[in-house]
């Protein structure tokens, strides 16, 4: 039986949902929808959630006059709301403050501890609260964390528990070599191999002064390092969500490139230490710039996905985000370009072609289309190309291939001019063309379904109606909305 388990990172509750989160979660949603169609709903597991522990959350909660749990609950809800607004259909939303998750974290660490891979030591170093990590000397730029130049790193010396990461370099290289698990794209894979070959140091996996976290099971004076706690979510969900026990290992961990180190090295080494199977693919995407500039709070150019849905509608927002940037590289987003693409691809392209074809069917009287019956002869090559592109996370390429079908219909309409043919009495020839275009549009609706659920439902309903009539615009012009 084929199964598909896909995860997004669990998002840190100190943050609000932004375009980057939305991108990763949309990619996961499209793949989950695609595989539900292929393998059956019960054989797909799409997990997302929020990462809620750590010193930073504790501090933000205090500043807001809330308990850490109240604070986490509030922000966690903003992620749920954003995903619901984007029509993202995850199977489970995990929260690290959930006691069922905490128990799995403790059990797993105890297992690694019992195998001798965790030891007590003393840690002395500079800690960045912004990153929730100790900084290495070569992380520093002008003596501060480059990501948090306004927060002075804090000198800390404390008893910690350490994980023997140094013992796993060769095992990680071997696993990558045997293709037990893969890191894509290739550039990221090479980066990780380089880092492993450079040598791995043991890492601290507990904190003494942070109370908002999972207690270390054999020493309650310590809490588990927030990253370790968070990474374990991918496994813990399979242990306590009903019916998901057999879903480990995950097929795909989707993430942005800045957290690859944690996923490709620390998480994998923890799994090796616990003698659990490794996930099959770690797929990393790039960063977004907005109008050529880095997205940042201080520049005020952070895009809230909720605002996009308010302007473009959910279906168009999903299309615009996924079609504008290639998965593997950094991409630039511009609202101006979003508006242009909305008009050209959706209002004109898909929307206009669809209403032209249904209008002609109404006028010239043709009518029944079935996917896959004769129709797929026109788009068969596209179907297989879509599947292989999706397997390689090429969402933009998939959308381009589908939209090329739409342009080809449009071009053929212009070339053949059915309204002229009608004047010349060529009814049979018109019928053949309308048969072809109607079937192609039904195929388009099938291919587009994981991306745009509501639009494709409208297309199918219109094309399968007993009497086909000119369709209402699928995408109203922006200035008329
Ligand atoms: Zn930092």
Cis status, amide bond into 185, omega within 30 of 0: yes
Taking only the tens place, the pLDDT of each residue in 40-82 is 999 999 999 999 999 889 999 999 999 999 999 999 999 999 9
Write down the pLDDT at residue 368.
63
Catalytic residue numbers read 18, 21, 128, 131, 145, 148, 294, 297
Taking only the tens place, the pLDDT of each residue in 388-441 is 999 999 999 999 999 999 999 999 999 999 999 999 999 889 988 998 899 899
Instruction: Using the mean position of ligand 1's atoms as its centre, give its distance from the Cα of residue 178 in Å.
Output: 35
Instruction: Using the mean position of ligand 1's atoms as its centre, give its distance from the Cα of residue 135 in Å.
Output: 8
Instruction: Using the mean position of ligand 1's atoms as its centre, give its distance from the Cα of residue 287 in Å.
Output: 18
| Residue 224 · residue 368 · CB < 8 Å | no
Q: In the Cβ-directed half-sphere of 357, how many Cα atoms lie within 13 Å?
A: 31
Write down the pLDDT at residue 481.
53
Is residue 269 scored above 70 in pLDDT?
yes
Instruction: Using the mean position of ligand 1's atoms as its centre, give its distance from the Cα of residue 138 in Å.
Output: 13
For the chain, give every domain's residue range: 4-285, 335-480
Name the residue with higher pLDDT: 137 or 102: 102
Going by the DSSP 8-state scheme, the letter that residue 264 receives in this structure is: I
Beta-carbon contacts of 289 under 8 Å, excluding residues fewer than 6 positions away, are 295, 330, 331, 332, 333
Instruction: Using the mean position of ligand 1's atoms as its centre, give its distance from the Cα of residue 433 in Å.
Output: 61
Instruction: Using the mean position of ligand 1's atoms as its centre, give its distance from the Cα of residue 7 in Å.
Output: 25
Write down the pLDDT at residue 367.
61
Instruction: Using the mean position of ligand 1's atoms as its centre, give its distance from the Cα of residue 384 in Å.
Output: 44
Q: In the Cβ-directed half-sphere of 96, how many Cα atoms lie within 13 Å?
A: 30
Domain at 4-285: CATH architecture = 3-Layer(aba) Sandwich (3.40)
Is residue 132 scored above 90 in pLDDT?
no
Write down the pLDDT at residue 369.
65
Q: How far is CA 125 from CA 167, 223, 276, in A?
A: 22, 18, 32
DSSP result, 94-151:
EETTSHHHHHHHHHHHHHHHHTT-EEEEEEEEEEETTTTEEEPGGG-BTTB-TT-TTS
Q: Please report, in angstroms and rounded to a whole number, the separation of the first and last CA atoms in the chain.
A: 46
Taking only the tens place, the pLDDT of each residue in 77-125 is 999 999 999 999 999 999 999 999 999 999 999 999 999 999 999 988 8
Instruction: Using the mean position of ligand 1's atoms as its centre, give its distance from the Cα of residue 285 in Å.
Output: 21
Instruction: Using the mean position of ligand 1's atoms as its centre, give its distance from the Cα of residue 134 in Å.
Output: 9
Write down the pLDDT at residue 454.
96
Instruction: Using the mean position of ligand 1's atoms as its centre, give its distance from the Cα of residue 14 in Å.
Output: 14
Instruction: Using the mean position of ligand 1's atoms as its centre, give its distance from the Cα of residue 388 in Å.
Output: 38
| Residue 164 · residue 117 · CB < 8 Å | yes
Residue 124 CB-density burial (10 A; 0-12 exposed, 13-18 middle, 19+ buried): exposed
Instruction: Using the mean position of ligand 1's atoms as its centre, give its distance from the Cα of residue 131 in Å.
Output: 4
Q: Residue 4: helix, strand or coil by DSSP?
A: strand
pLDDT band at 267 (very low <50, low <70, confident <90, very high): very high
CATH code of the region 335-480: 1.10.730.10
Is residue 374 scored above 80 in pLDDT?
no
Write down the pLDDT at residue 36.
97
Is residue 376 scored above 90 in pLDDT?
no
């Amino acid at each position: 039986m084929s199964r598909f388990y896909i995860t997004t990172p669990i998002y840190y509750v100190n943050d609000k949902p932004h375009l980057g989160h939305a991108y990763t979660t949309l990619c996961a949603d499209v793949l989950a929808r695609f595989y539900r169609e292929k393998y059956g709903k019960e054989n797909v597991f799409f997990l997302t959630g929020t990462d809620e522990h750590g010193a930073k959350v504790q501090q933000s909660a205090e500043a807001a006059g809330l308990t850490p749990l109240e604070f986490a609950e509030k922000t966690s809800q903003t992620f749920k709301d954003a995903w619901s607004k984007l029509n993202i259909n995850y199977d489970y939303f995990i929260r690290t403050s959930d006691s069922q998750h905490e128990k799995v974290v403790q059990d797993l660490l105890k297992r690694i501890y019992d195998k001798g891979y965790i030891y007590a030591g003393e840690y002395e170093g500079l800690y960045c609260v912004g990153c929730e990590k100790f900084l290495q000397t070569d992380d520093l730029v002008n003596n501060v964390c480059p990501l948090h130049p306004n927060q002075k790193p804090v000198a800390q010396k404390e008893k910690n528990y350490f994980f023997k990461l140094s013992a796993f370099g060769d095992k990680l290289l071997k696993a990558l070599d045997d293709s037990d698990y893969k890191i894509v794209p290739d550039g990221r894979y090479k980066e990780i191999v380089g880092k492993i070959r450079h040598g791995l140091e043991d890492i601290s996996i507990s904190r003494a002064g942070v109370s908002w976290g999972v207690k270390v099971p054999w020493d309650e004076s310590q809490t588990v390092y927030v990253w370790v706690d968070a990474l374990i979510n991918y496994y813990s969900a399979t242990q306590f969500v009903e019916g998901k026990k057999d879903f480990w290992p995950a097929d795909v961990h989707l993430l942005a490139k800045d957290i690859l180190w944690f996923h490709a090295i620390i998480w994998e080494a923890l799994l090796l230490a616990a003698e659990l199977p490794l996930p099959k693919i770690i797929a990393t995407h790039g960063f977004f710039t907005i109008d050529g500039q880095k997205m940042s709070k201080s520049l005020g150019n952070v895009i809230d996905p909720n605002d996009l849905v308010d302007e473009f509608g959910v279906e168009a927002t999903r299309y615009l985000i996924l079609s504008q940037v290639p998965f593997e590289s950094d991409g630039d987003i511009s609202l101006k370009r979003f508006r242009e693409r909305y008009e050209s691809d959706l209002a004109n392209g898909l929307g206009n072609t669809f209403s032209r074809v249904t209008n002609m069917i109404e006028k010239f009287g043709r009518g029944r289309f079935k996917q896959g019956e004769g129709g797929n002869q026109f788009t068969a090559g596209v179907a297989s190309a879509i599947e292989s592109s999706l397997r390689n996370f090429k969402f933009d390429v998939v959308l381009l291939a589908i939209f090329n079908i739409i342009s080809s219909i449009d071009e053929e309409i212009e070339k053949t001019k059915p309204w002229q043919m009608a004047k010349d009495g060529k009814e049979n020839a018109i019928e053949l063309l309308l048969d072809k275009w109607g079937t192609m549009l039904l195929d388009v609706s099938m291919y587009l379904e994981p991306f745009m659920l509501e639009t494709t439902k409208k297309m199918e309903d219109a094309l399968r109606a007993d009497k086909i009539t000119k369709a209402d615009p699928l995408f109203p012009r922006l200035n008329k909305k």
